Amino acid sequence: MVGREDSVEEPLNREPPIKALVSSFITKDDAYDRNHGAIRHLSASTHTVRVDGLVNTPLSLSIAQLHSDYKQYEVTCALQCAGNRRHTMRTLLKEVEGIDWGDGAVMNCKWKGPKLRDVLLQAGIRTDVKQNAGGQRKMHVAFASQQECQDDDWYGGSIELDRAMREDADVLLALEMNGQTLSDKHGYPVRIIVPGIAGARSVKWVDCITVQQEESRNHYQQRDYKILPPEAVDKKAAEKFWGSSPPIQDMPVNSVIARPLSGEKVERSPQGAVIVEGYALPKGDQGPVTRVEVSGNEGKSWVDAEIMQGKGERWCWVLWRAHVKVEKGKRRVLSRATDQGGNTQEEHPQWNLRGVGYNGYGESRDVEIV
């Protein structure tokens, strides 16, 4: 489906089979990979992270300093590609642009490192900032990696400074993943982790962190990863909307069915029920997922699933299971999730050209019930 090549022309982009993905609450050996250029191979002994922009004291931090000079935090969170489930939008709504991601462009991992907040507090945020052209003092934190990419000569993204400075937002300069030093492909020796926000902003191999009054000017913040309006039907029509459409940040509430898959044959229990399993994710920082419902009769009635793992975890996915009565024949099975913020999946979200942020009902189609 998605290849394993590694170059600027053919970056490493892949996802695991969905059943393998949900076999473990913590994603270990088979996490998805999303890259816009070749994987960087850096040395922890020489790599530094520069902190600059609208700060009182610019910093140049070694990896050793990031380990020793700051309190280390461990955060378990889901990291999700903005294009997760793009295939479903493409096939159910209308053709879109981009890699044909299925339901597996997500991972749920343990990340460890200092909080970005602590680093920025040491640098000191300037208070003498003037209003920008829009009459606002809103500020952003931009992350940059000198990774040559397909559409730019570096990779970057940004989030609002307010999010970065919130103690409960848990934004990390991650040095470890699942209790081990980061691997090269996951950003060694240091990457950004922004829980709840599209994975595009969790920049790998980060070189520079800049406090500024505008969003990152990088291609992948300005001309990608945006939910364009329906009028943007093709590349030409999209041109006038790139500048006015906000970049996707918080990911939407979502759920996916991993068992049974579309087209599978499933035997009912003596009670006429089948087992349905999958994962669900909260919207942005509004977790945890509090409810997952499943339907075997086209949404006429819904059954509450049991949350098996992840219950009460703000940033994590949950793994769930339900026993659903389904009539014999070829059927469609649906799922929908609700989070603590009261956000519930709708049947179909708005179509957009780049196919990002899809969170229609989880579904398995043409399941043969015997």
d(C-alpha 218, C-alpha 241), whole Å? 16
DSSP string, 135-155: S----EEEEEE---BSSSSSE
Q: pTM of this prediction?
A: 0.95
Instruction: Supply 120's token pair.
Output: 């920025």
Average pLDDT over residues 296-321: 98
- 254 CB-contact burial (10 Å; exposed 0-12 / middle 13-18 / buried 19+): buried
Res 2: pLDDT: 40
* End-to-end Cα distance, the chain: 30
pLDDT at 122 exceeding the cut of 90: yes
Helix (H) or strand (E) holding 289: strand 289-295
Instruction: Supply 231's token pair.
Output: 């009028």
Instruction: Report the range of poorest mean pLDDT among 27-31, 219-223, 275-279.
Output: 27-31
pLDDT tens digit sequence for 126-176: 998 876 666 667 899 999 999 999 999 999 999 999 999 999 999 999 999
pLDDT tens digit sequence for 185-236: 999 999 999 999 999 999 999 999 999 999 999 999 999 999 999 999 999 9
Residues contacting residue 134 through CB under 8 Å, at least 6 positions apart: none
